[in-house]
Amino acid sequence: MRVRHRCSLTTLRTFETLARVGSFAGAARELEVTRPAVSKQIRLLEEALSCRLLDRSPVGCQLTAEGRELYGGLDQAFNLIAATTEGVADRARHERKVKVLVE
């Protein structure tokens, strides 16, 4: 049985960015939001999944086992989304460049 959790793409992107850059401040800079906004998104995600994704300390944060698992899946998913949208855009650009002259 699959359990569906309601997590917004914004929340998932926030976690992916935090996991990749390794700090709340860095994630906030990259996402162009405040540190409290990043913290809120992570809290919402942890509540939705009923698990801790990060071990926080005064010098930063580290992913828990659950956080590493989630990051791995999100990294693959966001890479697939990027490749798919880039492929569609490339084909659309190519199709616009093709002109047929009929005399």
Inside any domain, residue 82: no
Under DSSP, the state recorded for 33 is S
Partnered with residue 55 across adjacent β-strands are: 62
Parent domain of 32: 9-74
- Give the tens place of pLDDT for each residue, 38-88: 999 999 999 999 999 999 988 889 999 999 999 999 999 999 999 999 988
- pLDDT beyond 70 at 13: yes
Question: What ranges in 22-64 are assigned the alpha helix state H?
Answer: 24-31, 35-49
User: Which tokens belong to 102?
Assistant: 């009929």
Inside any domain, residue 95: no
How wide is the angle at C-alpha 49 spanned by C-alphas 48 and 53, nearest 5°? Answer: 115
- DSSP-based three-state secondary structure for 53: coil
Q: What is the pTM of this model?
A: 0.80
Inside any domain, residue 19: yes
- DSSP-based three-state secondary structure for 63: strand
The CA distance from 80 to 74, in Å, is 10
Partnered with residue 63 across adjacent β-strands are: 54
